[in-house]
Structure formats: structure tokens, C-alpha cells
Amino acid sequence: MSGELRAQQLLDVAEELFADRGYDATSIEDIARAAGVTRPVVYERLGNKEGAYLAVVTRVRAQLEELMTAAALSVEDPREQLRVGIGAYFDYLDQQPRRWTILYGSSTPILGELGERLSEARFHTVERIVDLLRLHLTGESETTIHAVGHLISGALEQAGRWWIRNPDLSRDRIVDYSVTLLWGGLSPYVPDRPEP
Amino acid sequence: MSGELRAQQLLDVAEELFADRGYDATSIEDIARAAGVTRPVVYERLGNKEGAYLAVVTRVRAQLEELMTAAALSVEDPREQLRVGIGAYFDYLDQQPRRWTILYGSSTPILGELGERLSEARFHTVERIVDLLRLHLTGESETTIHAVGHLISGALEQAGRWWIRNPDLSRDRIVDYSVTLLWGGLSPYVPDRPEP
């Protein structure tokens, strides 16, 4: 088995344990046992527990970012970009409920190196939204575009938390609510939009 | 010293420790030592560590909710309610940076009873926003009002995270960005708003 493949399989195991048991209750020993390897193998591939957790979060965020960006860029109209990008996001939560726990589950504050890295990973996702906004908010400052990007990102995060608790609400309705509010919010910045 | 006063002082100490050291690195023993009392006194007033942390979070959220609601209800115009409510929120973050860490710092997932209670505390804050929205979104379903409430709450949460990292951005500008996006987003639901 190649090193890359082995690392991905270890990440699968670590992701499952962190999501199902929480961070505190998961050890490198648990990951090794569940993966059927020795602890040194886990340390070699993922580093220590903090490194393993960060690798799990980074992989989940990278997938989400790629799906959202690819979906948005598959169309040209700004409102359609918003709709299909948001649709891809909620589809990801819907199909990967365990990853939702990694992204948005309840949590307790963590400081130091891991806390800083987790913040960076969170901000990295916002930068992907900022990249998409830059295509349309051409007359606005970088500060404005970032403010809008963070507001949008946070809105969708909390909508995701709520949706997971309200599984009877259809995917299309949560997408509609999000698009309606955020497109209305973007209207001062995208003045030439055609009337719906 | 009254029991209530003592409990508040212990919460002050616990809040400081949880914010400065993180949840994992804080013990009931630490709280007792910092407060100059014995461990049984802490257990009696705050319960175990999970109870102490939940009490800290609940107190921070209750203050924030009260400030936001009181500010919003001090005016009548819907857009002004949005502006002064959001202003009260950012003022709170500005004046209480330690409490920002309790609310929004980096974190690792926690499951079980504490995780569930922390989610409830998070949703409780959204309900206060929902209460304010109900005053104006009179023709909308409860589901719609909750969707909007969660989108707004999340947008402001992430804007707060970003603002703490960009202290050069003035309070008035972050309020303006938030009001512009969220008022634009509310416009489909508040159709009779006067033109700005």
C-alpha cells in the first residue's frame, strides 16, 4: 500500500473517532487500534494527536471548499453562482453528517498552536468565498469584500447547524432561505443584477 | 458574603481561567486555588467542571442576549432596531474580549451532555433574535423566521471572529457592513421599508 493511500485511510479512521467520541476521548492509541496498525505508524503518518485532528479538519474543509468553488464556477450568472455554491455546501452536509460534527459540532475552547491552526483553517474557507466575491464586487475594497465573505460564511455555518437539527426541512428550502437572504444582502454590492 | 455573590465571584474566576488557559487545561482545583476557596466550595456552587463551564457560557450569553434585546427595543424603526442591536453586540465583543474567547474561540468537538447543553445555549441566543424578527416578519411562517434568525446569528458570529483579528477596523465600520448585508437580506421579508 502506498504511503499516500495509508495516510488517507488513517485519516478516515481518525475522522470517525474524533466525530463519534469527541476530541478529548480519542487517543493516538485508539486510532492505531481501530486502523489495525501500531502507534509508530500513526505518529509517522499523522503526527501527534493535535496534528491528526488538524489533518482531519483540513481535509474536510478542503473537500468542502473544492465542491463549493467548482459548483459556483460551473455557472456564470452571479445569483446562480450563489445558488449552486450554497447548494453544494448543503449537499455536502447532507451526505456527510459525520463531517458536519467535525466542522460545527459543540466544542470547548482550545488555545495554543492547535487553536491557532484551527482558526486559520476556518479563515481559509472564508478566503475561498472571498475569491468568488471578487469576481463580482469589482468596485469594492478588499476590506469590504472580506467583511461580506465572513458574514456569508457565518450565516451558512449557523444555517447548517440548524438544518442538521431539523432534518424534515428539505434541502431545497434551506437553500432557498439562504439564497434569498444572502442575495438580498449582496444587492447593494451587485447593483446591476436583473430583477428576479 | 451571600451565596449569590460568592457564586458570581467564582464564575468570574472560572471564566478567566477557561478563557486564558482553555477548557482542557483548567481544573476545579485551579478555580478553587485562584478564588482562594476549597474545592468543596466550588463543587457546591458550580458543580463539576462541565457544570462550571456551562454556567460560564450561559452567563456570557445571557448578558449578550439582554444587551442586544434591550438595545433593539429602545427604538421602533426596524432598520434602526437592526443597527442598534448589532451595535450592542459588537460593543460587547469590544469591551469583553475575554468573553469573545468563551463564545467564539477555536475549539475541539465535545459530545455527550455538555455538548448538548452548549448547543442549547447557542440556540437560545438565536431565539432572542427570532423574538425580535417576529415583531416585523408578521406574515412569515415560524420556519422562515427561524431560518432567517439562524442566518443572521451566524453572520454576526463570524463577523465577530474576523473583527477580533482586525482591531484596526472601527466599530462603526463593522456595524455598517453587518447592517448593510443583513438589512438587504431582510428586504424580501420587510417589504414596506422606506428607501434609504
Please give the Cα distance from A58 to B142 (Å, whole number): 36
Residue B196 has pLDDT above 70, yes or no: no
Which residues sit opposite A109 in a β-bridge? Answer: B107
Q: Is residue A191 part of a domain?
A: no
Q: Quick check: is A97 in a domain? A: yes
pLDDT of residue B192: 60
Q: Could B152 and A150 be called an inter-chain contact, meaning their C-beta atoms sit closer than 8 Å?
A: no
Number of domains in chain A: 2
Give the CATH number, domain containing residue A78.
1.10.357.10
Interface membership of B43 toward A (CB under 8 Å): no
CB neighbours (10 Å) of residue A104?
17
A71 in a structural domain:
yes
* Minimum-distance CB partner of B188 among A118, A174, A184: A184
pLDDT 10s digits, A96-148:
888 888 888 777 777 788 888 888 998 999 999 999 999 999 999 999 999 99
Assess whether A80 and A169 both reside in one domain.
yes
- Mark whether A10 and A104 lie in a shared domain: no
Q: Give A105's contacts in chain B (Cβ within 8 Å).
A: 109-111, 115
The reply to whether A39 and A55 lie within a common domain is no
Q: Do B162 and A184 touch (CB under 8 A)?
A: no
B92 and A CB contact within 8 Å? no
Residue B195 counted as domain residue = no
The distance of B141 to chain A (nearest Cα, Å) reads: 12
Judge if A73 and A145 occupy the same domain: yes
> Across the interface, do B111 and A21 touch by the CB < 8 Å criterion?
yes
Nearest residue, CB atoms, A157 vs list B19, B115, B158: B158
Task: Output the domain CATH number for residue B4.
Answer: 1.10.10.60
Q: What is the pLDDT, as a whole number, of residue A195?
A: 53
User: Nearest residue on chain A to B49, judged by CA atoms?
Assistant: A108
Residue type, B163: W
Average pLDDT of chain B, as a whole number: 90
Chain A CA closest to residue B162: A150
Average pLDDT score over chain A: 90
Whether A161 contacts A104, CB under 8 Å: yes
Residues of chain A contacting residue B18, judged by C-beta atoms under 8 Å apart: 109
Q: Could you list the residue range(s) of the whole structural domain that residue B123 is in?
A: 56-186
Taking the Cβ of residue A188 and every Cβ of chain B, the question of whether any pair is shorter than 8 Å is answered with: yes
**Do the Cβ atoms of B106 and A126 come within 8 Å?**
no
Q: Is residue A193 part of a domain?
A: no
Q: Identify whether A192 is part of a domain.
A: no
Q: Which residues of chain A lie closer than 8 angstroms to B120, CB-CB?
A: none
What is the rounded distance in angstroms from the CA atom of residue B11 to the CA atom of residue A90?
A: 38
Whether A13 is covered by a domain: the verdict is yes
A67 and A10 in a single domain? The answer is: no
For position A192, what pLDDT does the model report? Answer: 60
If you measure CA to CA, which chain A residue comes closest to B127?
A: A162
Nearest to B162 among A25, A146, A156 (CB): A146
Q: Region B28-40: what's the mean pLDDT? A: 96
Question: What integer is the mean pLDDT of B124-139?
Answer: 94
Residue pLDDT, tens place only, B94-109: 898 888 888 887 777 7
For residues A107 and B104, the answer to whether their CB atoms sit within 8 Å is: no
pLDDT tens track for B37-49: 999 999 999 999 9
DSSP codes, A75-112:
--SHHHHHHHHHHHHHHHHHH-HHHHHHHHS-EEE--H
Q: Are residues A151 and A181 in the same domain?
A: yes
Residue identified by cell 488517507 is A8
The pTM is what?
A: 0.88
What integer pLDDT is reported at residue A110 of this predicted model?
77
Q: Report yes or no: B178 and B86 within 8 Å, Cβ to Cβ.
A: yes
Residues 136-175 of chain A with CB under 8 A from chain B are: 143-144, 146-148, 150-159, 161-162, 165, 169, 173-174
